[in-house]
Structure 1
Amino acid sequence: MDTEQLTQQLDPVFKAQWLFRQHKWDDCIALCTELLAANPYDQAVWYLKCRALTLQAWVDDTDFEEEGMADSLLDENATATLPRPGTSLSRPMTGTAMGTPGMRPISSSGRPLSGYARPGTGSARPGTQGGIESAMQGARPGTSRPVTALGRLVRLGTASMVSEAGGPFIRVERLDLKKYAARPELAKVLFDYILYHDHNPRKALELANYATQLANFEDWWWKERLGKCYYMLGLLREAEKQFASSIRNQPMVVAYLQLAKVALRLDQPKNALDVYTKAIEAFPGDPACMLGIARVHEALNEETEAIAMHKMVLEADPANVEAMACLAAHHFYSDQPELALRFYRRMLQMGVSTPELWNNLGLCCFYASQYDMALSCLDRALSMASDDAMADVWYNIGQVAIGIGDLGLAYQAFKISISVDANHAESYSNLGVLELRKGNIDAARSNFRVVQGMASHLFEPFFNGALLAYKLGDFQEAFELATKALQLCEGHHDSLELLKQLKTHFAML
């Protein structure tokens, strides 16, 4: 008798439980819906469907999420308008802690890219370079609701409700939450459904308040959930108190992670490091807490501490993809492409297959002098790439073409990169250099000016524009652009030399 015949003879409730354990949420929900249509008062099936719907929409909320435009503009939780360097995410450590910008690409906030895309690392915080401007550019004018974290959750919640035939599974507005709070098992399931499926933190907060009172304020789980509700509503100080109280009742990793996230949202990275350190003391070797420490050090441009912590993460969890990717990026930009290649190959053996990984493999192979493998890896990345990654892959193909001396291929690759992503600043900058080699001075200057307005955090277009202006005899423009390049990259030798020549020329006038 095959598996299909066996499953057909199973009890329907047991079959729904089996589907639930197999993480087949859609099939489990459909079967539970049929059973509830026959018997609407079956609490076991109601419980199972509620859990399946919740896990289907579950999101790991321990990570630091992206801040929307309204979060940036209306944030009233700032502790200092001009914090000291290293004590705030808006003023990370400067200098050569993370290498020179010419060696390692940086984000619009001025921080070197870590090698792993995480929420909160791609956009600048208020006060950082390009923070408000980038938020305004990313906004969608005309929408009825500000782009906030809760605004996105509200839209997700309405979409999930409409997708169900016959309306929502639970009409929370009609429930007597006090009655459910008296039954802890059902209350916890209902709370997670309201928070993660319906995305209604106000109703979830009401239920958590009733349940906490009935538990005599001694249940760590309800206090941790209260903190989540306060955090989603923007009441960060209240959330901080609830998470701290939850830890006092019962130390748990998730409560420590949530408390550290609140500290980061309040722009207090040192407090977040203290929270992660206490968590590691209570739970030695926990990878999530060690990763949190590494992320904070990266945000503060403290590379030595971040790399040491990533190595500790791999000792505790040898299959951690984030630590591998960050260590691989570190070795690649430290002129050790062979070591980076070993990390990327390990990720490939673990089953990670993304266009970004194949792209990085191609670059590592190229700089490790494995030219035959480099082109095949980049071709694989190109076949898998979506519109988001396509421009970067073509840009790297152009870089490889420059390395092998095929400037025609490089020119075409940068052109294609710009056609895919009209805001790809690096491709414009390199295209300007190639246009200059062809003798197209006007086109080169136009490309440099486009990049200077598009990506003001890159110093290369300012230096290239200054050098071109110097050769054309426009010394005033050359002086201004070289000064700007030095502001973005302190100690850049070529910019210093150009400024020295310009000052000598001005002194002779």
Structure 2
Amino acid sequence: MGLEPEPLFQAWSYFRRRKFRQCSDLCSQLLEGPPGEQAAWSLKTRALTEMVYVDEIDMDQEEIAEMVLDENAIAQVARPGTSLKLPGTSQGGGPSPAIRPVTQSGRPITGFVRPSTQSGRPGTMEQAINTPLTARPITSASGRYIRLGTALFEYIFHHENDVKNALHLAALATEHAQFKDWWWKVQIGKCYYRLGLYREAEKQFKSALKQQDMVDTVLYLAKVYLRLDQPVTALNLFKQGLDRFPGEVTLICGIARIHEEMNNISSAAEYYKDVLKQDNTHVEAIACIGSNHFYSDQPEIALRFYRRLLQMGVYNCQLFNNLGLCCFYAQQYDMTLSSFERALFLAENEEETADVWYNLGHVAVGIGDLNLAYQCFKLTLVNNNDYAEAYNNLAVLEMRKGHIEQVGDLQRSYTAAQKSEEAFPGHVDTQQLIKQLKQHFAML
């Protein structure tokens, strides 16, 4: 008959196997005994923290209130190439043969959706209120869990989300360490960042870098500059970091992301290629390079990158959606519909389903089946009633069908085009379509 394992050792085993709930419950049982069990306290706080842990380096979701009330804006109109609020229009190597869709901020859609991209942000206050809370992705761990104080800080900061008390604890710990502990300075900077005090956070991160040169601290400081809308300063910081940490993937990837935000797609693609030289399994780099090749009218090359992701085990709606488009434009029609069928099967929400039906509508237009295209765009609007591109394409199909002689049909086309213009006021094709529809109105 085997011996029962020691409870604290069993709790630690649960933690190592990422069974955080069992670990927390067992630690609670240990804490019901005699007081002073510091190891159980520390392990329980770590387990509770890991349940809700979010890597502060990657997570940078700008809230709707911060977009409306930006107190850090220095100039209303920034110089070209120096701001992320008004990205430039240069593609770096001339205009792309294919029309690349853009977000509401005017930035072209990339091949990888990150927490800080516009696609994940609510567009209005009502959308922000109705948006459900979702889990954020977890990447690299950047905390230090040695003493009870550090575990307690992480518990207060992540689990309780009490930034004020976490800042107070970090300030006391820094004072106790005689302002010589770089780790606590980074935690103070994180608290200031959460509170919107970006200049104070910048001072803490700079002070921490003087004491200890760390990649994570460079990434935190770059986040501050990006929130202050200083992408050139962030680029210089990343390049200085590469001088001290040659070949560091996170720094190269940070440079590529900034170039994407500034609409310099060709430079971003070059830096993503440098990322693959260091890590040939980097999902974001592979997806973004594949997307760049697709919109450069090279679907065959893009197909190779997306198949590589499939071989690596990436299995989601977005990947099969892209595979279907690449197969269609590469004239591999036998795989087109099967890829879209798999994408519909893997769609997790109505927005993803709408994207698949919209792309199927483009395939139907490409093969000349306008009735099928009409139904696909209608199904797109069933799943997402704010899909501006679908409204625009339905208006075009109404014109192609010859339904513009009747006032009612013409009005439906004009209404659809107006909805598209509301979402993308600067869309040239939509403006030309509205102009043509107004001419038809004048002839009736």
Relative to structure 1, is the Cα distance of residues 96 and 343 closer, same or farther in structure 2, using a 3 angstrom cutoff?
A: closer
Maintained 8 Å contact 1:25/1:52? yes
In our comparison, the structure showing a higher alpha carbon Rg is 1
Find the counterpart in structure 2 of residue 53 from structure 1: 48
Is this contact kept in 1: 2:78–2:86, CA < 8 A? yes
The residue matched to 1:109 in structure 2 has which SS?
Answer: coil
Equivalent residues of 1:109, 1:457 under 8 A apart: no
Whether 2:123 is the aligned partner of 1:134: answer: yes
1:103 aligns with 2:103: no
1:64/1:261 contact within 8 Å kept:
no
> Residues 105-254 of structure 1 correspond to what in structure 2 (within 5 A)?
105-122=101-118, 134-136=123-125, 138-140=127-129, 185-254=147-216
Equivalent residues of 1:108, 1:457 under 8 A apart: no
Aligned pair partner of 2:7 in 12, 29, 36? 12
Q: How far does residue 123 in structure 1 lie from its aligned partner after superposition?
A: 6.1
Partner of 2:21: 26
* Distance in 1 separating the partners of 2:368 and 2:34: 74
Paired position in structure 1 for 2:72: 77
Match of residue 425, structure 1, among 358, 376, 388:
388
For 2:344 and 2:51, how far apart are their aligned partners in 1?
32
Letter in 1 for 2:421: Q
Whether the 8 Å contact between 1:108 and 1:124 is mirrored in structure 2 is no
TM-superposition CA deviations, 1:469-489 (whole Å, max 9, x none): 345557xxxxxxxxxxxxxxx
* 1:423-465 superposed Cα distances (whole Å, 9 cap, x missing partner): 0111111111111122222132222122222332433221122
Distance 2:428 2:226 in 1: 29
Counterpart check, 1:363 vs 2:325:
yes
2:343 equivalent to 1:374: no
1:381-408: CA deviations, max 9, x gaps? 0011121201000011111111122222
2:231 corresponds, among 247, 265, 269, to 269
**Structure 1 residues 452 and 101 mapped into 2: Cα distance closer, same or farther (>3 Å)?**
farther
2:425 maps to amino acid: S
Residues of 2 paired with 1:27 and 1:310: CA distance?
Answer: 41
Residues 115 and 329, structure 1, Cα contact 8 Å, conserved in 2: yes
Unaligned runs of 5+ in 1: 126-132, 142-146, 157-182, 475-509
How far, CA to CA, are the matches of 2:52 and 2:96 in structure 1? 42
Residue of structure 1 aligned with 2:246, choices 271, 284, 296: 284
Match of 2:432 in 1: 463
Q: CA–CA distance in 2 between the matches of 1:335 and 1:396?
A: 16
CA contact (8 A) 2:290 2:301 kept: yes
Secondary structure in 2 matching 1:411: helix
Contact 2:87 2:106 in 1 (8 A): no
For structure 2, the 5+ residue unaligned runs are 136-144, 405-409
- Structure 1 residue 135 displacement after superposition: 4.0
Identity among equivalent positions (%) equals 47
Report if the CA contact (8 A) 2:82-2:232 is conserved: yes
Count of residue pairs the alignment pairs up: 426
1:409: which partner in 2?
372
Q: Is the 8 A contact 1:68 1:135 kept in 2?
A: no
> Which whole-Å CA distance do the structure 2 matches of 1:17 and 1:308 have between them?
44
RMSD over equivalenced CA pairs, Å: 2.5
Q: Is the 8 A contact 1:72 1:135 kept in 2?
A: no
Q: 1:66 aligns with which of 49, 61, 68?
A: 61
Q: Which moved more, 1:72-81 or 1:373-382?
A: 72-81
